[in-house]
């Protein structure tokens, strides 16, 4: 697909926020789904399939799932149960949904393509001696398998998986554990939950949006950019 035919986000970086000074950045933190790997739709379909075989209900669940960003998979399952299924889980039902999504989601992550410019951008950042971190709500063992399958491990310095907590908690834990200064970091995310996490941690945020427009009403971030490649063209390769 030609660049001219790609869906365009509503505003560019210069319209959203002042240009960042990359020379002041020591750490780049990347969400995985929708930022490093183009897996959001596949994961949404996996979640829908873990609930129902009804095609119409699956479409509704997919739409809802794509809006649930920055929260762990358990919270997503509970949201879908409450908003689309109704009523409490029967005994063992939550665990069934969790395991089905774990199995289906794992396959979708392994098969999904990398986002445009992913490896090239990670390599360029590494060449600048900037620490590269993958931060995801996906459990660590599953996340490591996915990154290994996509041969991304050599391009990352730290890999942090998730648990039964939101992305905001994962980001704060990362900063505390490694004593990263928030204003020396950049967090790349593709959803409002990621933006909320960045705000709570006082970390500058780079929005990645392939055309959903979900950042239209938001302010105080860099972008949105259609992919890491578009950010790299402006911030990395343009200065080389």
* Of the residues 77, 111, 145, the one at which a domain ends: 111
Rounded to the nearest 10 degrees, what angle do helices 228-235 and 118-127 cross at?
Answer: 40
pLDDT score at 239: 61
Note the pLDDT tens digit of each residue in 72-115.
778 889 999 999 998 899 999 999 998 888 788 778 878 889 99
Q: Which domain holds residue 208?
A: 3-38+115-239
**pTM of the prediction?**
0.76
Quote the CA–CA distance of 102 and 74 in Å, as a whole number.
Answer: 11
Residue 50 sits in the same domain as residue 9: no
Across 22-26, 44-48, 170-174, which has the greatest mean pLDDT? 170-174
Q: Looking at the 3D structure of the chain, how many domains does it have?
A: 2
Quote the CA–CA distance of 203 and 160 in Å, as a whole number.
Answer: 17
Residue 139 sits in the same domain as residue 215: yes
pLDDT score at 9: 40
Quote the CA–CA distance of 82 and 62 in Å, as a whole number.
Answer: 15
Note the pLDDT tens digit of each residue in 190-200.
988 899 999 99
* Of the residues 63, 93, 111, the one at which a domain ends: 111
Q: For the domain that residue 196 is a member of, what is the CATH number? A: 3.40.50.1000
Rounded to the nearest 10 degrees, what angle do helices 93-111 and 140-149 cross at?
Answer: 20
Quickly state the pLDDT bin for 238 (edges 50, 70, 90): confident
pLDDT reading at 147 higher than 80: yes
Residue 183 sits in the same domain as residue 132: yes
Quote the CA–CA distance of 236 and 217 in Å, as a whole number.
Answer: 27
Quote the CA–CA distance of 228 and 182 in Å, as a whole number.
Answer: 21
Residue 124 sits in the same domain as residue 219: yes
pLDDT score at 73: 76
Q: Which residues 6+ apart lie within 8 Å of 187 measured at CB?
A: 29, 31, 135, 171, 194, 197, 198, 201, 203, 204, 205, 206
* Structural element, H or E, at residue 201: helix 192-201
State mean pLDDT over 167-180.
95
Residue 120 sits in the same domain as residue 225: yes
pLDDT score at 17: 45
* Of the residues 111, 130, 146, the one at which a domain ends: 111
């Amino acid at each position: 697909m030609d660049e001219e035919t790609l869906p365009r986000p509503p505003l560019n970086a210069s319209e959203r926020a002042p240009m960042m000074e990359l020379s002041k950045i020591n750490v780049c933190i990347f969400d995985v789904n929708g930022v490093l790997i183009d897996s959001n739709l596949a994961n949404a379909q996996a979640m829908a399939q873990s609930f129902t075989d009804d095609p119409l209900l699956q479409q509704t669940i997919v739409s809802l799932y794509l809006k649930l960003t920055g929260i762990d998979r358990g919270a997503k399952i509970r949201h879908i149960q409450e908003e689309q299924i109704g009523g409490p889980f029967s005994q063992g039902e939550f665990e069934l949904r969790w395991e089905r999504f774990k199995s289906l989601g794992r396959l979708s992550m392994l098969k999904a393509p990398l986002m445009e410019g992913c490896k090239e951008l990670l390599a360029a950042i590494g060449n600048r001696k900037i620490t590269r971190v993958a931060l995801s709500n996906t459990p660590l063992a599953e996340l490591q398998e996915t990154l290994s399958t996509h041969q991304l491990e050599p391009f990352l310095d730290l890999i942090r998986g998730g648990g039964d907590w939101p992305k905001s908690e994962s980001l704060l834990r990362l900063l505390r554990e490694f004593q990263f200064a928030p204003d020396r970091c950049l967090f790349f995310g593709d959803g409002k939950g990621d933006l909320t996490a960045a705000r709570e941690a006082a970390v500058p945020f780079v929005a990645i949006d392939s055309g959903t427009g979900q950042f239209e009403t938001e302010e105080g971030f860099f972008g949105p950019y259609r992919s890491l490649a578009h950010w790299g063209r402006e911030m990395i390769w343009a200065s080389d």
